[in-house]
Structure 1
Amino acid sequence: MEFIGYFGEVFQPVSFLLLLVGTIGGLILGATPGLSPTMAVALLIPFTFQLPAAQGLILLGAAYTSTVAGGAVSAILLKIPGAPANIATTLDGHTMATQGRGAEALQLSFISSAIGGVFGVLLLIFLTPLLAQWALAFGPSHLFWLAILGVTVIGTLDSNSVVKGLLSGCIGMWLATIGFDDIMGAQRFIFHPELSGGINIIPALIGLFAIPQVLTMFARGRVPSGAEVIAVRKHPIGAAIRETLRRWRSLSIGTIIGSTIGLIPGVGGQIAGLVAYDQARKFSPERKKFGTGHSEGVIAAESANNAMVGPSLVPLLTLSVPGSPTAAVLLGGLLIHGIFPGSDLFDNHPDVAWTFINSMLIGQILMCIFGLYVAGFAARVAQVPQSVMAALVLGLAVFGSYSVQNSMGDVYVMAALGIGMYFLERFGFAAAPLVLGLILGPIAEANFIQGAMIADASVGRTTYFFSGVLNLSLIAIVVASIAYSVWMELRQRRIDRQEQNEEAAA
């Protein structure tokens, strides 16, 4: 219970002011398409040079947690995920916004984010030594099977067909191979010099989600002004809290999956929301409502996104192994102040470590308070006429894509992927599985090559990849996931045929 003694440090005037600035600034940066949590933390590092170590980390930690939650704002209101972690939020959140329920969706997202985030930080506080050893058990073979497991989730995400979902994922994995191979240095599918560095995930994310929406808006043409305005319904905060707690199943699934995935080094939190959304849908008695503006989808996705924040710092603080790209930037922030994370961090610098962790716990609560305060105002974005909205989304898409690397090449890639996705959607393919394939492709490939090198020098590939309790457990889950997806699709088709026959007989 050593951490309790350092709570007072967080409420020192300067420290608490930095916590407020980081929380509010993180929400704004998170809601801006193209500014991921990693970029937000990196942008703030220069401002910590003249600050004491603990105060600098308070600013960075607050920005990290609130940026993850802030990404839900653009995901819900504009259908542009603020970061890869917010992809699953668009599936039900944006539909709720188009129904005039944007305030409700934002309230659910911030409340579930806070609950998941507090749980994740409590895991960081109480179980750090134990979880660090568990995270260290994951080698290349386990990370490869974990990526394959993520690929099998693709088959049931945002698609009415398992086959089309898997094909979308395969397209994403192929796009991930463009550029130079990180392991062997081989040149692959570089059709243009701008592609030599591969496809950056942020421009791809913006293009695949934003551009089809913009083209759809333009394709509708001009409509009477009164018909294009959505009536935004007010929603009391108390009702949102009760709805979140009532959906305890999705909240628990999202929190547990987010905490588990955030802990594993190298996987990061980009897939936590997608996996949680998929599992919440499979276990929900209202499975058919997912994708139609169902509250469970938002709750599962956002609780997972923030639940992964605390555990992703466990390998960093105890083993000096960043669990995510943002944790790697935080490692730089520690090193700048002459602090080297490791097993003795809590012995040599307990004031810095515990003040930083405590600030993240309080930051989750502040993030929820500020988020709920602005939810009603932000939801009015849905009342903007579609002609204006299309121009606004297109401008944000161009700005967000260019700002990643200050490169017009990223803008061209964003536009090309978006136009391609627009036509793929006409044939029943979905963007979420494609993006998940783009994210998981490099993880699966890099760990397979590394595992193959280790296996060739030791026990052989078959033994290395297909033996051990952890490997066999992951393989069994992969097979079960595929079988369950196919069974659910066949079952749904049978139900649909029975309903059609009953209607014809009537």
Structure 2
Amino acid sequence: MPEFLNYLGNVFAPFNFSILLLGTAGGLILGALPGLSPTMAVALLIPFTFHMEPTSGLILLGSVYTATVAGGAVSAILLKIPGAPANIATTLDGHQMARQGRAAQALQLSFLSSGVGGVLGVLVLIFFTPVLARWALNFGPSHLFWLAVLGVTVIASLATNSMIKGLAAGCIGLWISSIGYDGVHGVHRFSFTSHLDGGIHIIAALVGLFAIPQVIDMLVRSRGGGSGENMSKTVQPHSLLQAVRQVLSKPRTLTIGSIVGIVVGLVPGAGGQIAGLVAYDQSRKFSKTRETYGKGEPEGLIAAETANNAMVGPSLVPLLTLSVPGSPTAAVLLGGLLIHGIFPGPSLFTDYPEVSWTFINSLLVGQVLMVVLGLALARLAAKVIMLPEHYLAAAVVVLAVFGTYSVQHSYSDVLIMATLGGGMWFFEKYGFSAAPLVLGIVLGPIAEQNFVYGRTIAEAGDGILPYFFGGGLNIALVTLIILSVLGSAVLEMRARRKSSLVVA
């Protein structure tokens, strides 16, 4: 019998299961609030675990982590405001489905695909941890740089109307990411005001770019201005059984999302936002209905939510086996382990088998609870879009300000959020999209910092070219980048040819 099964019963102990249930429900609610990322949610709960047993404390933190990632899809679908960076890709088709009156269907597909990806990710954590931990150690600055570049290749495909506008928005995002204090060289860049000295935090940018344009459009429409795209105020009922069949009928999309999520999750520092966007892009390229992506295509939603939840389990592999946190949330979990005197490493599963295996089993059971509670939440959450738009706009503003300010307790973040949002509303009138701009902001620091670190290492060794282009992993990543660029170019040419034939 596999060792993890010996400790499965511990998860169902009354207190542990109650903690798991409470953490999952709370995580779904916290995830649905714009600005409250999984990292922040877990960090806020660390003090509550001080007087708990180590096992119960980790169950609480782990359940909140997994549920918050899935819960972020609620605001992404209903309000076009990602609950966390990992839900950026969810907005692209999920919100369009909600606009068409298919909010219930979108939420059902989101939680079901999140459950599939989450379970597969935890199973990878259970069965392949030792092997994958050694593989994750191979990732250095050069590999992380190429991974960020691979993410940049997705930018063009995120703009459904114009590839050029998508690239332009992505470049603006890359520039915005360079604003503020440069931690490598110790200089200030583009700091035109003291409010920009600390740079632009991703949460402030995320909330501002997605929430504020929505608020302005809501207010304009509520005053009868007729600006913006009309949103359906009805919620079409959708059978849960039909949603299950729809998810299971997309094995290719589930496979792409799961593989991308697992691989990206293993890479320290990559994050769910890269997993969701890369999976969305690859699913679109392999889809027979790629022209419907961005217009309410369920495949796009399924790919994004499968990937960002599949990365949760693998992101803990470097933490549990090597004491190397693979993400900001994993770093907070490391603090939770150390508080209880548990030191992750190769001997974790032999020195603390009950704690480690019960924690991992709780992640597996928590995925099932997340689906059940999420589907129950979906029935109520879908009715949010039926509220009058001026009430909805006021609620979004409150959440946006609260979520932005709570990250760093900074008034400057709120000003930056409002400024970026106002500018994005203006740019949207000319056909620009927020998604590629946010992707540029997310990937800019990853690419720049790892290039600088890699160049420093290379100059002390064999040189830049051998360091960045040598080795099987570098070659594989560069090959994927070339294929991604060529794939985007071919799809663009086919779309133009098809549109010219239709016009003719």
What is the TM-score normalised by the length of structure 1? 0.97
The 1-side partners of 2:159 and 2:361 are apart by 37
2:363 is aligned, of 360, 364, 370, to: 360
1:13 offset after TM fit, Å? 0.8
Shift of 1:490: 1.7
State the match for 1:192 in structure 2. 193
Residue pairs, 1:261-410, within 5 angstroms: 261-410=264-413
Give 1:485 shift: 1.0
Partner of 2:80: 79
**Residue equivalent to 2:96:** 95
The DSSP-based 3-state class of the residue aligned with 2:158 is coil
Residue matched to 2:112: 111
Q: CA deviation at 1:396?
A: 1.7
The SS at the match of 1:155 is helix
Shifted more, 130-139 versus 421-430: the winner is: 421-430
Matches within 5 A, 1:433-448: 433-448=436-451
Q: Which residue is equivalent to 1:166?
A: 167
Q: Residue 221 of structure 1: CA displacement?
A: 4.8
CA contact (8 A) 1:228 1:386 kept: no
Q: Secondary structure at 2:9's aligned position in 1?
A: helix
Asked whether the equivalents of residues 349 and 356 of structure 2 are also in contact (C-alpha less than 8 Å), the reply is: yes
**Structure 2 counterpart SS, 1:340:** coil
Asked if 1 retains the 8 angstrom alpha-carbon contact of 2:272 and 2:311, the reply is: yes
CA-to-aligned-CA distance 1:310-367 (integer Å, 9 cap, x gap): 0000000011111111000000000000111001100110111000000000000000
Residues 425-504 of structure 1 correspond to what in structure 2 (within 5 A)?
Answer: 425-501=428-504
- The answer to whether the 8 A contact 1:253-1:280 is kept is yes
Work out whether residues 98 and 232 of structure 2, in 8 Å CA contact, stay in contact via their aligned partners in 1: no
Is the contact between residue 159 and residue 428 of structure 1 (CA under 8 Å) also seen in structure 2? no
* In structure 2, C-alpha distance between the alignment counterparts of 1:263 and 1:136, rounded to whole Å: 9
Contact preservation (8 Å) 1:179, 1:190 = yes
AA aligned opposite 2:485: I
Judge conservation of contact 2:101–2:232 (CA < 8 Å) in 1.
no
Quick one: which amino acid aligns to residue 65 of structure 1? T
Whether the aligned pair in 2 keeps the contact of 1:92 and 1:291 (CA below 8 Å) is yes
- Aligned Cα root-mean-square deviation (Å): 1.4
Task: Indicate the residue corresponding to 1:127 in structure 2.
Answer: 128
Q: Which amino acid aligns with 2:412?
A: G
Q: Specify the code of the residue in structure 2 equivalent to 1:134.
A: W
Aligned residue for 2:9? Answer: 8
Question: Which residue type is aligned with residue 160 of structure 1?
Answer: N
CA distance in 1, matches of 2:475, 2:363: 36
Q: Secondary structure at the match of 1:187?
A: strand
- Give the whole-Å Cα distance in 2 for the aligned partners of 1:291 and 1:83: 19
- Return the TM-score normalized by structure 2: 0.97
Q: What displacement does 1:291 show?
A: 1.1
In structure 1, give the amino acid aligned to 2:64: A
Structure-2 change in CA distance of 1:256 and 1:438 (3 Å)? same
Contact 1:161 1:489 in 2 (8 A): no
- Check the 8 A contact 2:86/2:271 in 1, yes or no: no
Partner of 2:219: 218
**Residue deviations 1:216-258 (CA, integer Å, cap 9, x gap):** 2233352499x97611111111111001001221111111101
Q: Secondary structure at the match of 2:417?
A: helix
Q: Is the 8 A contact 1:26 1:64 kept in 2?
A: yes
Query: Structure 2 regions of 5+ residues with no counterpart?
Result: none
1 CA distance for matches of 2:231 and 2:88?
26
Please state how far the C-alpha of 1:475 moved relative to its aligned partner: 1.2
1:363-413 deviation per Cα after TM superposition (whole angstroms, max 9, x unaligned)? 000000001112111101111122222222222212211121222211100
Equivalent-residue separation in structure 2 for 1:228 and 1:438 (angstroms)? 29
Is the Cα–Cα contact under 8 Å of residues 213 and 425 in structure 2 kept in the other structure? Answer: yes
Report the residue type matching 1:231 in the other structure: T
CA distance in 2: counterparts of 1:391 and 1:18, whole angstroms: 34
Cα 1:47–1:221 change in 2 (3 A) is closer
Q: CA deviation at 1:23?
A: 0.3
| Equivalent residue number for residue 23 of structure 2 | 22
What is the match of residue 204 of structure 1?
A: 205
Structure 2 SS opposite 1:343: coil
Aligned-partner residue type, residue 153 of structure 2: T
Structure 2 equivalent of residue 259 of structure 1: 262
4+ long deviations beyond 6 Å: none
Give 1:160 deviation, angstroms: 2.5
CA distance in 2, matches of 1:33, 1:341: 32
Decide which moves more: 181-190 or 340-349: 181-190
